[in-house]
Amino acid sequence: MEGLQTVGILLVVCSSLRLLHFLGLIDFAARDSIEDDFELSTVCHRPEGLEKLQEQTKFTKKELQVLYRGFKNECPSGAVNEDTFKVIYSQFFPQGDSSMYAHFLFEAFDTNKNGSVSFEDFVIGLSIILRGTIIDRLNWAFNLYDLNKDGCITKEEMLDIMKSIYDMMGKYTYPCMQEDAPREHVESFFQKMDRNNDGVVTIDEFIESCQKVCNYTKTKHYLQ
């Protein structure tokens, strides 16, 4: 598939936007009361201070207030575990099985590897995906694909990702999909990314290849 790596990044962004919608984070006409929006008298996890989160993300005070209000309403414990994450995604992809993709995405958000995604984890990751530089976003996407976090993407890891994407989209979306389609996409991915043909894709190869695709796409669009 042409531009497979770009599709993967877009899926991450779209999935995060779906999660925002599920949490009711679509109205940014929020109140200014920090005390009202950040009071956590009945939850287990308390988020970092508003000012610190502003420094760590590219969200405004008002955006953080609304993000947290929605997060608290849907996640009263103050953190999301993997099972809840899977339930969220199953509601948006009822035509397929989103559990494995949700697992991979949860692992990417769970930066502390403690089995839960706190509000801080959520907004820091979301800030990178939605408002980070292209390098920030590519680094985040690479971390998603690098399942065992050893600094490189193998064909086996990319195949697991591709299978999870097809499972999530379901046969309704791809009724004529052949069983070997994910593997064919992985081969295409490695032909573009694996610059030295050593069987793995490093972060440098990933970023360089993605930037070339982005630059080519922009030039093609401009010439049209």
Choice between 212 and 59, residue whose per-residue pLDDT is larger: 59
pLDDT at 20: 44
What residues are paired with 201 via a beta bridge?
153
Write down the pLDDT at residue 27.
Answer: 36
Q: Tell me: the pLDDT tens digits for 138-190?
A: 899 899 999 999 999 999 999 999 888 888 877 655 555 566 788 888 898 89
**50: CB partners within 8 A, 6+ apart:** 34, 38, 61, 64, 65
The band of 67, judged by pLDDT with boundaries at 50, 70 and 90, is: confident
pLDDT number for residue 150: 96
Sequence-distant contacts of 98-102: CB under 8 A, at least 24 apart: 98/167, 98/168, 100/160, 100/163, 100/164, 100/167, 100/168, 101/15, 101/161, 101/164, 101/165, 101/167, 101/168
Q: Taking a C-beta distance cutoff of 8 angstroms, is the pair 56, 124 a contact?
A: yes
pTM above threshold 0.85? no
Write out pLDDT tens, residues 168-181.
Answer: 877 655 555 566 78
The hierarchical CATH code for the domain 4-223 is 1.10.238.10
* pLDDT surpassing 70 at residue 191: yes
CB neighbourhood size of 204 (10 A): 10
**Residue ranges per structural domain of the chain:** 4-223
For residues 19 and 21, give the distance between their C-alpha atoms in angstroms, rounded to a whole number: 5
Q: Say which DSSP state 200 is in.
A: E
